[in-house]
């Protein structure tokens, strides 16, 4: 059956991959992307689907109630998937305010529109960072959906606040919601302020690779397409009011990732530069995906060794995409974050 889905933040990394997957998989669906086009949103990313009659792009802020309500009136969406967020931990440490506005108030505004106009499903794209971190010396511990919320950064706190609001709108107003909490994604269109694309871009430019602390922090990496497939399953078959963790047991230290990228690019390890650690740096993230596997049959399809090769190749094949991004404002950001670190 045909459906209309509003995808917020669809000009960003994961949202754009989700837009592509949905248009590919559900030919009769209408996909409407609502995006403010912040520094992290790129219209050029959506170029391949701009002429698709089943796709519409609307530039708007999820905090702008009038614009959001107008879009709901026009499109009468069946499903809303909220990717729109300020997403970078380091930026949240520098300036938390915009994280609270977009990630919390924006989520509330979208859900108010869902209440006003009626909706089949509101899906909140959240993060495993709401669980805080795990110790490095307890590899037996994983985040389950029952792990208490225990955040470290302004970013993760704002995402946790949004999750609590989503669950409150379900309990109080009966809004049909689901939440997914995913581990670190990687793949095409990843903004080059995040670990993997930053290291690829710097290595190709022969610039130092800034590793925080000793590089021993652990992240649980998931290929972005696997995340998008999990969300597709949840919005169609997930139980209302439920939280689903998404991750594929792909834990790596940061230094392993950085060395792997250098190896794939044939660049020397002498480019690695250890810099001052991130404030409040979470030690280890690791997802237990048993619930989504048992209930919805989801399993990751791309193993890290394949995914990282595909990702590095994508950055080699799409230099103009990221070279445009790292000119201009990005240079000021880079100087501010890494200049005297
Ligand atoms: P991103 O920073 O690449 O993209 C965010 C997008 O949201 C951009 O297109 C931006 O323009 C848009 N946006 C920002 N503020 C907006 C606003 N006020 N109104 C409308 N649009 C706005 O982020 P991403 O990495 O693609 O992450 C997407 C979602 O997934 C986020 O909610 C993030 O918390 C979550 N998440 C990300 C990861 C990861 O590894 N990247 C892991 C787990 C969860
Ligand atoms: P990041 O990609 O910012 O994702 P998150 O903080 O949401 O996990 O960082 C991934 C890991 O890489 C994290 O432990 C911080 C580290 N890191 C560096 O060592 N150097 C860098 O320049 C960046 C951006 C991150």
Which CATH number covers residue 196? 3.40.50.720
Above 80 in pLDDT, residue 57? Answer: yes
pLDDT at site 330: 81
Structure-token match 């201009």, residue found: 328
pLDDT at site 103: 98
Exposure string for 67-83, b = 16+ CB within 10 A, e = fewer: bbeebbeebebbbbbbb
> CA-CA distances (angstroms) from residue 156 to 32, 127, 187?
27, 8, 22
Above 80 in pLDDT, residue 67? Answer: yes
Strand residues in 231-325 grouped as ranges (E): 243-246, 251-253, 272-275
Query: Hey, what are 311's tokens?
Result: 């990702």
pLDDT at site 331: 82
Of 204, 198, 217, residue with least CA distance to 330: 198
Q: Which residue's CA is minimally distant from atom 37 of ligand 1?
A: 127
Band (pLDDT 50/70/90 cuts) for residue 73 is very high
Ligand nearest to the CA of 337: 2
Band (pLDDT 50/70/90 cuts) for residue 245 is very high
Question: Rounded CA gap, 289 and 287, in Å?
Answer: 6
Q: What backbone phi and psi angles, to 5 degrees, belong to 121?
A: -155, 135
Query: Hey, what are 37's tokens?
Result: 């086009």
Q: Which residue's CA is minimally distant from atom 33 of ligand 1?
A: 87
Q: What backbone phi and psi angles, to 5 degrees, belong to 30?
A: -100, 125
Q: What is the mean pLDDT of residues 186-197?
A: 98
Q: Is the Cβ–Cβ distance between 70 and 76 less than 8 Å?
A: no
Q: What is the mean pLDDT of residues 174-202?
A: 98
Q: What backbone phi and psi angles, to 5 degrees, belong to 34?
A: -110, 120
Above 80 in pLDDT, residue 164? Answer: yes
pLDDT at site 248: 87
CA-258 nearest atom, ligand 2: 19
Band (pLDDT 50/70/90 cuts) for residue 271 is very high
Q: What is the mean pLDDT of residues 116-140?
A: 98
| Residue 139: domain span | 4-338
Q: What backbone phi and psi angles, to 5 degrees, belong to 47?
A: -45, -45
Q: Measure 205 CA to ligand 1 centroid, in angstroms.
A: 26
Above 80 in pLDDT, residue 267? Answer: yes
Q: What is the mean pLDDT of residues 259-264?
A: 98
Q: Measure 102 CA to ligand 1 centroid, in angstroms.
A: 10
pLDDT at site 1: 82
Q: Measure 257 CA to ligand 2 centroid, in angstroms.
A: 11
Q: What is the mean pLDDT of residues 291-308?
A: 98
Domain count, the chain: 1
Q: Ligand 2: which of 14, 211, 213, 254 to mutate, judged by most atoms within 8 Å of the beta carbon?
A: 254
> CA-CA distances (angstroms) from residue 94 to 153, 157, 194, 207, 337?
11, 14, 15, 24, 9
Band (pLDDT 50/70/90 cuts) for residue 335 is confident
Above 80 in pLDDT, residue 201? Answer: yes
Three-state SS for 36?
coil
pLDDT at site 327: 84
Q: Which sequence positions are flagged as catalytic?
A: 128-129, 155
Above 90 in pLDDT, residue 336? Answer: no
Q: What is the mean pLDDT of residues 12-38?
A: 98
pLDDT tens for residues 82-111? 999 999 999 999 999 999 999 999 999 999
Ligand nearest to the CA of 41: 1
pLDDT at site 86: 98
pLDDT at site 38: 97
Band (pLDDT 50/70/90 cuts) for residue 242 is very high
Question: Rounded CA gap, 121 and 175, in Å?
Answer: 8
Question: Rounded CA gap, 91 and 210, in Å?
Answer: 16
Q: For the beta carbon of residue 207, count every other beta carbon within 10 angstroms.
A: 15
Above 90 in pLDDT, residue 177? Answer: yes
Q: Measure 330 CA to ligand 1 centroid, in angstroms.
A: 17
């Amino acid at each position: 059956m045909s459906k209309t889905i509003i995808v917020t933040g669809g000009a960003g990394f994961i949202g754009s991959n989700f837009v592509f997957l949905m248009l590919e998989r559900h030919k009769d669906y209408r996909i409407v992307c609502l995006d403010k086009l912040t520094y992290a949103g790129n219209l050029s990313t959506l170029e391949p689907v701009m002429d698709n009659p089943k796709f519409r792009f609307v530039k708007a802020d999820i905090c702008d109630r009038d614009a959001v309500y107008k879009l709901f009136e026009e499109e009468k969406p069946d499903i809303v998937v909220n990717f729109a967020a300020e997403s970078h931990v380091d930026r949240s440490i520098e300036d938390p305010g915009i994280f609270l506005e977009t990630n919390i108030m924006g989520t509330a505004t979208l859900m108010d529109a869902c209440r006003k106009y009626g909706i089949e499903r509101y899906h909140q794209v959240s993060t495993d960072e709401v669980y805080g971190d795990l110790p490095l010396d307890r590899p037996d511990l994983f985040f389950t959906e029952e792990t208490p919320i225990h955040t470290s950064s302004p970013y993760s706190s704002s995402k946790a606040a949004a999750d609590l609001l989503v669950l409150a709108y379900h309990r109080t107003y009966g809004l049909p919601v689901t939440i997914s909490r995913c581990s670190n994604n990687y793949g095409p269109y990843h903004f080059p302020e995040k670990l993997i694309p930053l290291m690829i871009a710097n290595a190709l430019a022969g610039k130092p690779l800034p590793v925080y602390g000793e590089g021993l922090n652990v992240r649980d990496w998931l290929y972005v397409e696997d995340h998008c497939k999990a969300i597709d399953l949840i919005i169609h078959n997930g139980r209302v009011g439920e939280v689903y963790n998404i991750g594929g047991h792909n834990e790596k230290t940061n230094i392993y990732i950085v060395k792997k990228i250098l190896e794939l690019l044939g660049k020397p390890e002498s480019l690695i530069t250890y810099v001052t650690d991130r404030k409040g740096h979470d030690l280890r993230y690791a997802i237990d995906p048993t619930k989504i596997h048992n209930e919805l049959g989801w399993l990751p399809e791309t193993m890290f060794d394949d995914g990282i090769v595909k990702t590095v190749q994508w950055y080699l094949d799409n230099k103009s995409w990221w070279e445009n991004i790292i000119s201009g404002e990005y240079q000021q950001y880079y100087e501010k974050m890494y200049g005297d670190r």
